[in-house]
Amino acid sequence: MGLRVAAVDIADDKLALARKHGAELTVNALHEDPAEVIQRETGGCHGVLVTAVHPSAFGQAIGMARRGGTIVFNGLPPGDFPAPIFEIVLKGLTVRGSIVGTRQDLEEALDFYAQGKIHPTVSTRELSEVNAVFDEMKHAKIDGRVVLRF
């Protein structure tokens, strides 16, 4: 789709999956400061999509964005998020919230798939494995999505 992608996570296996799907730069936030690495390597992101629910990811996103960039918050952390207004204003950032999962989102995703623009990671498991699947989800051990067959 013409985008250059940087991915941030705290799990090396998730970063490997991101590289498999085209991320040019990956940063393990347990070992490096994502904002520092991304600013140094790219000059900052034009767009930052935050899907994580950990509050630190929200602050890191502001540091990763370049002047005039846009940050979209999709994950919903518990509690409040203290925003560094001074930095947001000085960098001229646009901060947006996004709820996904609408019918239009689904149609667009299926269209991208039909055109071969995306290659999702999907595995199929038996319904009898549902408890194991939920346990794997709880411990962040699932790459992509799981479809239960019944």
In the chain, domain spans: 6-119, 121-150
First-residue to last-residue Cα distance in the chain: 35
- Between the alpha carbon of residue 22 and those of residues 10, 19, 120, the distances in Å are 18, 5, 12
CA dist 122 and 92 (Å) reads 38
Mean pLDDT by 10 residues, the chain (150 residues): 88 94 96 97 96 87 96 85 90 92 87 91 95 93 91
- Using a cut of 0.85, tell me whether the model's pTM lies above it: no
- Any idea which fold 6-119 has? Rossmann fold (3.40.50)
Tell the residue number behind the tokens 């490997």, with chain if given. Answer: 16
